[in-house]
Amino acid sequence: MFFVSIIFAGVEFIVVLRLKLVLMLIPFLLISDQLWAKEVKLMILGDSLSAAYGLKQEQGWVSLLQNAWDGENITIINAAVSGETTDGGLARLPRLLKQHQPTHMLIELGGNDGLRGYPINKMKANLKQMVEAAQSENVDVIIQQMQIPTNFGRRYTELFTNTFTDIAEEYQIPVIPFLLEEIALNDDLMQQDQIHPNAKAQPMITAFMDKQLRPLLNINE
């Protein structure tokens, strides 16, 4: 019995020792996972709505979202240009992909095409080429629904609106709602031109985009 007790005591000691070692290693394992986690690089290919038109860059929703994601392994590349059309975005895209090598890309373009009455089939072709160019570089693409006034008639507006969901369905990519959906009709949240959101609206857009993008980028709540 004496030897049996010694054996059991020895086994218990080994189990306790191993448990302590595991507990000591957990913080190092967590740090290692964080260090080796793949960095998410989200490139926003957009227009003035993402380029902080009429505001300081740090006031815009893109900068605010980067701040909100502080501590996450995520970098936002703001490739938005005020006045940008799908023609311009498509022309710039190859250089941007090579320069920044994003893992994800949000296409927030088409609004200026629609406001200027550009042909819908041309806009759609440009957007499709952007998706294909990004996917050929193994970039996960997200497309943003855009909205325009009915200046060019109901038929044009309907074709414009359907373009984004059509592309999302064809390429099996996520489409997220228009970023000014709850803002555009509120004068207190718009600049004098009634096209661009003001500084007061930017935190609201940030919260909206955070909610939309977080699950698509696998960011924990």
Known catalytic residues are 48, 193, 196
Task: Compute how many other C-beta atoms are within 10 angstroms of the C-beta atom of residue 81.
Answer: 18
| Chain-centre distance for alpha carbon 62 | 9
